[in-house]
Amino acid sequence: MGNVTHTAGPGASDLGARPHPQTRNPPGSRGGTGATQAAQALALDEGLVPEGQRGRVLDALVELVHAHRPFGGGPHFSGGTIGLAPIVRALHTGGRDDVLWDVLQEDTRPGYGYFMAPTTANPHGLTTVPEQRDMGNSKDHMILLQIEEWFHSGLVGIRQAPGKAGYRELVIDPRPVGGLTRAEGSYHTPYGVVSARWVREKGRFRLDVGLPPNTTAQVRVPTAGRKAQVTGDGAVFQGIRGDRATYGVASGRHGFVGYDGEGR
């Protein structure tokens, strides 16, 4: 095969700094071209939105999720194969885990609870996620399952550190939401199993973390802006970021007790 040379036009190097204007609709402009959940989320998720405008685009995404009520109820997602994962990630990254939680509480169509409702065709409801929101075609498909990513990276809070590979450097950043009082989960990395478990009780937030050998993590503990109580050896306090105390830890088991401040 011959060699092919690609020539970029003027300004190609800064395309990321100049997103298409249709990806940015101010809050309230739900009717314009490109004013969809997927359009807002893709721009946020791919880093196409200038830092000073990310809040406005995130607000537009939240408004669109709350406005999507094709059969009543809501809020609901409207994204599918391409848009749903960026919607979930953009809301989580933007600190709007409360919106993700609210979507999961809905049992009206096209919500996840709708799939579990008894029907003539499925008297006990579905135990899998279908291909389409009207439960058409396959009854066991991955298109609408991107919310599962948030169960690990959001609710439990286990994820890889940004810009890293191989899960050697991790972030443990649980997001307690709604009336949920406990969550736990684990992830099998190339180094072994990472685990996290948290409980909310009487204004306290207890977090237990387990890291396999040869890994490190930054642990972010909800503390209402104060230091956490720490059990285990080697946790290094790194500072307060918003309502969370941040600690650096190495492999082993670590415990933290923070404070369950007022959330959204």
**pLDDT at site 34:** 54
Measuring CA to CA, how many Å separate 141 from each of 50, 79, 80, 114, 147? Answer: 35, 15, 12, 16, 13
* 3-class SS of residue 23: helix
CB-based burial of residue 17 (10 Å sphere; 0-12 exposed, 13-18 middle, 19+ buried)? exposed
Q: What is the pLDDT at residue 145?
A: 87
**Whole-number pLDDT of residue 261:** 64
Instruction: State the pLDDT at residue 157.
Output: 97
Share of the chain above pLDDT 90, in %: 66
| Cα–Cα distances in angstroms (integers) from residue 39 to residues 47, 71, 168, 174, in the given order | 13, 22, 33, 27
Torsion of CA 58, 42, 137, 126, to 10 degrees: -40
Helix (H) or strand (E) holding 241: strand 236-241
Q: Is the pLDDT of residue 165 over 50?
A: yes
pLDDT, mean over the chain? 87
The answer to whether residue 209 scores a pLDDT higher than 70 is yes
Instruction: Dump pLDDT digits (tens) for 13-28.
Output: 454 555 555 444 444 4
Segment 139-168 mean pLDDT: 92
Whether residue 111 contacts residue 72, with contact meaning beta carbons closer than 8 Å, is answered with no
- Least confident span in 27-36, 41-50, 126-135, 211-220: 27-36
Domains belonging to the chain, first-starting first, are: 15-147 (1.50.10.10), 157-259 (2.60.420.10)
**pLDDT tops 50 at residue 10:** no
User: Which has more confidence, 3 or 77?
Assistant: 77
Q: Region 208-219: what's the mean pLDDT? A: 97
pLDDT at 206 over 60: yes
Question: Which of the residue ranges 123-132, 172-181, 191-200 would you say has the lowest mean pLDDT?
Answer: 123-132
Please check the confidence at residue 123 and state whether its pLDDT lies above 50. Answer: yes
* Maximum mean pLDDT: which of 71-85, 119-133, 185-199: 185-199
Judged against a pLDDT cut of 90, whether residue 210 lies above it is answered with yes
Question: What's the pLDDT band for 1 if we cut at 50, 70, 90?
Answer: very low
167, amino acid identity:
Y
Q: What is the pTM of this model?
A: 0.84
Lowest mean pLDDT, pick from 9-23, 82-96, 138-152 = 9-23
